[in-house]
Amino acid sequence: MAKIPQRKIHDYLRHDKKFPHVWCAGCSNGIVLGAVIRAIDELKLNRDNIVMVSGIGCSSRMPVYVDFNTLHSLHGRAIAFATGVKMYKPGMKVIVITGDGDATAIGGNHFIHAARRNLDLTVVLLNNNIYGMTGGQYSPATPHGDKATTTPYGNIDPNFDICKLAIGAGASHVARTTAFHAIELQKQIKEALEHPGFSLVEAICACPVIYGRLNKKGDAPAMMRNMRDNSIPIKAAEKLPPEQVAGKILRGTFIKEVRAEYTDAYQKMMDQLSPKEGE
Amino acid sequence: MTKEKATSKKTEKVEAIVEKKVTKAVIMQGNEAVAKGALAAGCDFFAGYPITPSTEVAEILSNELPKIGGTFIQMEDEIASMCAIIGASLAGAKALTATSGPGFSLMQEAIGFAKITETPTVVVNVQRMGPSTGMPTSPGQGDIMQSRWGSHGDAPAIVLYPDSVKEAFQLTIRAFNLAEKYRSCVVLLMDEVLGHMREAVTLPDLSTVRVINRIKPTVPPQWYKHYDENQKYLSPIASFGEGYRFHVTGLTHDDHGFPTNKPNEAAKMMERLNKKIKHNIRDLVQIETEHMHEAKVAVFAAGIMGRASKEAVKMARAEGLKVGLLRPLTIWPFPDDAVTKMLKDVDAVVVPELNEGQLFHELERLVRERKDGSLHRLNRNDGTVITPAEILTKIKEVYNG
């Protein structure tokens, strides 16, 4: 990470247009943005060829700051918009930036169906366990028992394991880490970008201003330390007894399989329909 | 074969698909005409979700689009379908979806997105009897106001409404042309009975079909404004992947497309959306009139009721009654000028509709200064049509009253 100077990130930003950004002090979203940019830079992707699509929410504000083709769409619908872009121009690299509420509540249907099709989208899901933009209501990723502005007596909902949801729906590349593990995050996003098929990177993010405050998680550094201390790599977890794994954030790549990709399948179908050369 | 190669072969293949229909009259269904019209207009992307009575449009395009290098995808719902066609259009596609009432309701938020982001898209709504699930295989004209005001916020609409299979073909092409020219979401309203009705049609030769494509920017990327202005409020539009790297958002935006909270920039954006319709009203409005120059009573109706009314007017004239017809092919923007003139020229107007009187409200809006008793509604809302004979009865009642 340190090999790439800050100036590099600056190069990818619409710094003369849309700054200062909307994110609160201590928010992890900037760390994820940095990881996305470094991963793209490492792969030397042509920025004219990148479309970044987002929905609505704190994390979904990301595209406006970066110098790609950017589409800040509707709440929950980023993947549906991205599907249209990718299906029409399969050669483009389509990155979806979404949040836990955006992707798994209002956008849950699009999320599972794009995963099922194994459409080549790179979905970076910033999970801050809450709806931040609207002021702190509980999301499908708010842990059971936690406080939100709409769970004043504690959350009675069980929460999603978003990676398991994606695997169950058919995603062929699924990984998770935290904003604390910025280098690991960059590596996971890079791998996801290289993967031909639906890939999900779930980035556990800190929302110290709302989620942290409501649940007495401490300030931003304390929440970062918690990510460090309360998460374990999948491989390490496999060697531990279940009681030591319970409640921990599992980090790593859960699944990485090359399967028939959707735009490829469509192209093959078209090839079969078109007359052979010389006929 | 790559997609690019397939696209280069596209024109001749579209001709092959449509051409066998152009030389002589063929029996065709309204929904089939929509699909053929879309292909003739250059549609190369369809995303949709099955719903009666529009499904044939999707079925036909699922068969044809892959053959010409186009894309067909059946999405998980109508919301996704509308969003997918906007995404595809931003990537350069001429994109279509087709649905009916319940799906049209689901699409409204994204239709608003297409309007505020000025993204060319075409939505076909083969109306069925509502509300809610209603009567899926029966006609109703309950979506006239939804097609105008269905999405939240206050943005203008372009809505076309054919009365025959041939006109469904023509207006589908026109819907694409207007979407491309005015950078907006254009709705083609159909009636269930038109979607499923088969009649003999002679389609025009493809070489005579006028196809309009969006204006592409000629400036270098650093000068590009996604919402640039000119006198007619029509501006070039780049696609993703062409080096322009623009931003698209449903937030109120400046002329570059970046979000803004400044009242002057918000006002400018709203002015653009409205003025591009208002300043081009003559290009957008299309009406059909019959015998209006000498009419004492006029019938004002659209879609399939326009067709029944045409028949009723013919019957009335055979009996020597001075009756005329005004049928809007574009219902939104509403043909205010033509209707105002009609209201001035005739003693009374009959408005047959398969709803509780939605077009009727518009006539009431324009007739405010006239004395009462000149507007006569004729409504049915039970899943059946109003017959020409019934319209004739009403005409006579009004004529003699």
Quote the domain boundaries for residue A66.
6-273
CA distance B97 to B72: 10
Q: What is the CATH number of the domain that holds A28?
A: 3.40.50.970
A-chain residue closest to B45, CA distance: A88
SS3 category, B34: helix
B131 preceded by a cis bond (ω within 30 of 0): yes
* Residues of chain B neighbouring A77 (CB-CB closer than 8 A): 79-80, 83, 110
Residues B199 and B307 in one domain: no
Chain B interface includes A256 (CB < 8 A):
no
State residue A279's pLDDT score.
47
Confidence of residue A1 (pLDDT cuts 50, 70, 90): very low
| Tokens coding B198 | 């088969």
State residue B204's pLDDT score.
87
- Residue given tokens 């609505």 in the structure block: A56
Residue B277 in any domain: the answer is no
What is the rounded average pLDDT for all residues in chain A? 95
CA distances from B350 to A46, B145, B341, B365, B372 (A): 62, 19, 15, 15, 13
Residues B63 and B162 in one domain: yes
Residue A1 in any domain: the answer is no
Q: Is the pLDDT of residue A107 over 50?
A: yes
Q: Is the pLDDT of residue A278 over 90?
A: no
Residue B199 in any domain: the answer is yes
Residue B84 in any domain: the answer is yes
State residue B19's pLDDT score.
54
| Tokens coding A177 | 């880490």
What mean pLDDT is predicted for residues A103-116? 98
CA distance A100 to A32: 14
Q: Which of these, B387, B392, B194, lies nearest to B304 by C-alpha position?
A: B194
Q: Is the pLDDT of residue A79 over 50?
A: yes
b/e map A14-40, b = 16+ CB within 10 Å: beeebeeeebeebbbbbbbbbbbbbbb
Pick from B191, B208, B225: which residue ends a domain?
A: B208
- CB atoms A84 and B86 under 8 Å: yes
- Model confidence over B215-261: pLDDT tens digits? 999 999 999 999 987 767 788 999 999 999 999 999 999 999 999 99
CA distance B131 to B150: 14
| Tokens coding A109 | 């249907």
Residue B278 in any domain: the answer is no
Query: How many independent structural domains does chain B possess?
Result: 2
Residues B70 and B187 in one domain: yes
Q: Is the pLDDT of residue B357 over 60?
A: yes
Pick from B190, B208, B226: which residue ends a domain?
A: B208
- CB atoms A64 and B259 under 8 Å: yes
Pick from B208, B225, B250: which residue ends a domain?
A: B208
Q: Is the pLDDT of residue B183 over 50?
A: yes
Residues B155 and B24 in one domain: yes
**What stretches of B192-262 show up as alpha helix (H) in DSSP?**
192-196
CA distance B49 to B70: 17
Q: What is the CATH number of the domain that holds B70?
A: 3.40.50.970
Residue B319 in any domain: the answer is yes
Rounded percentage of chain A residues whose pLDDT exceeds 70: 96
What mean pLDDT is predicted for residues A135-154? 97
Lowest mean pLDDT among B82-96, B306-320, B336-350: B336-350
CA distance B102 to B112: 17
CA distance B395 to B350: 7
State residue B160's pLDDT score.
98
A-chain residue closest to B242, CA distance: A48
Confidence of residue B1 (pLDDT cuts 50, 70, 90): very low
- Model confidence over A183-192: pLDDT tens digits? 999 999 999 9
What mean pLDDT is predicted for residues B178-191? 97
Q: Which one-letter amino acid corresponds to residue A185?
A: L
State residue A243's pLDDT score.
93
Quote the domain boundaries for residue B319.
288-400
Helix (H) or strand (E) holding A204: strand A199-204
Q: Is the pLDDT of residue B401 over 90?
A: no
Confidence of residue B122 (pLDDT cuts 50, 70, 90): very high
Mutate to test the interface with A, among B13, B83, B121 (most CBs of A within 10 A): B83
User: Closest approach of chain A CAs to the CA of B44, in angstroms?
Assistant: 9
Chain B interface includes A80 (CB < 8 A):
yes
Residue A278 in any domain: the answer is no
Residue A233 in any domain: the answer is yes
Query: How many independent structural domains does chain A possess?
Result: 1
Is residue A39 within 8 A of residue A186, CB to CB? The reply is yes
Alpha-carbon dihedral sign for residues A279, B5, B7, B11? negative
Residue B66 in any domain: the answer is yes
Q: Which one-letter amino acid corresponds to residue A100?
A: D
Is residue A200 within 8 A of residue A173, CB to CB? The reply is yes
Between CA B58 and CA B64, with CA B52 as vertex, the angle to 5 degrees is 15
* Residues of chain B neighbouring A273 (CB-CB closer than 8 A): 66-67
Residue B118 in any domain: the answer is yes
Confidence of residue A5 (pLDDT cuts 50, 70, 90): low
A-chain residue closest to B90, CA distance: A85
CA distance B385 to B379: 10
| Tokens coding A61 | 């504000």
Is residue B42 within 8 A of residue B60, CB to CB? The reply is no
Q: What is the CATH number of the domain that holds B333?
A: 3.40.50.920
